[in-house]
Amino acid sequence: MRAPMSVTELWRYPVKSLQGERLESAEIGPEGIAGDRQWALFDRETGCGLTARRVPDLLFGSARLRADGGVEVVLPDGAVTTDDDTISGWLGRPVTLRPSGSTSGRPRYESPDDNLAETAGWHAFQGAPGAFHDNAGARLSLVTTGTLGTWDRRRFRANVVLEGAGEGGLIGSQVRLGDAVLDVGDPIPRCVMVTRPQPGGIARDTSVLKTIHRERGGDLAVAALVHRPGSVRTGDVLEPA
């Protein structure tokens, strides 16, 4: 019998690859936590959506939802903006901030050809339709404290951090989290992004990814789709549906 797991942290990331918001409670809809990955920055020249794989500086900005449902970008110097030219000046490249549903077809992103190599080439891939998730099979990501160990959980940008061990045992099952029901799918493959420095004393650390590949086959955390929307809050216990 699986030991019980409970929600210890909830996170949403309104703008893809920027820092997000820790929540005490959240509404989970068909695209995941309400407001999660609903905006992304796009390179005006290549047309690709930007991630911290390609542009590590993104991790030093943050995003937050406004009361009216819009979004604000907070730059590293504390300036709050939604202006494309201001954000472009920060990143040193022409970008535009787009909401989900504003692009024709599925968005393209860039990923390194070799996740373990700092000098790897890059290839484009198609992300999910709708909210700016990398994978159409993922609307939420879940990880346990047992898996994270001493690693800072912020490296992995999971939506749900569960107190317990062994989220891999959830793969292929249907679970209830608060009022929501989730279909737990595949493990999440990891890339160079987990090695990037971040605010709050998170230093560049290439050993993180090397360890994940050596000990976990390159995967950490699991993806889930939303079978039935509902609300969830910290302290909720994950149960079989």
Determine how β-strand 140-144 pairs with β-strand 160-163.
Answer: parallel
> Quick one: pLDDT band at residue 114, thresholds 50, 70, 90?
confident
Q: Taken in order 201, 206, 207, 211, is the CA torsion positive or negative?
A: positive
Cβ proximity of 25 and 232 under 8 Å:
yes
Q: Where are the beta strands (DSSP E) in 57-179?
A: 62-65, 71-74, 80-81, 95-99, 108-112, 122-126, 140-144, 160-163, 174-177
Cβ proximity of 44 and 55 under 8 Å:
no
Q: What is the pTM of this model?
A: 0.94
Instruction: Give 144-153 pLDDT, tens digit per residue.
Output: 999 999 999 9
Cβ proximity of 180 and 23 under 8 Å:
no
Most confident stretch, 1-10, 79-88, 102-111: 79-88
Instruction: Give me the percent of the chain exceeding a pLDDT of 90.
Output: 88
What average pLDDT does the segment 153-179 reach? 96
Residues 6+ apart with CB under 8 A from 136: 127, 128, 129
Cβ proximity of 179 and 231 under 8 Å:
yes
pLDDT at residue number 104: 75
3-state secondary structure 41-88: EEECCCCCECCCCCCHHHHHCEEEECCCCCEEEECCCCCEECCHHHHH
3-state secondary structure of 222: strand
pLDDT at residue number 204: 96
Instruction: Give 72-89 pLDDT, tens digit per residue.
Output: 999 999 999 999 999 999
Could you tell me which of 130, 113, 142, 134 has the C-alpha nearest to residue 49? 134
What are the chain's domains? 5-240 (2.40.33.20)
Angle at 20 between CA 90 and CA 215, to 5 degrees: 105
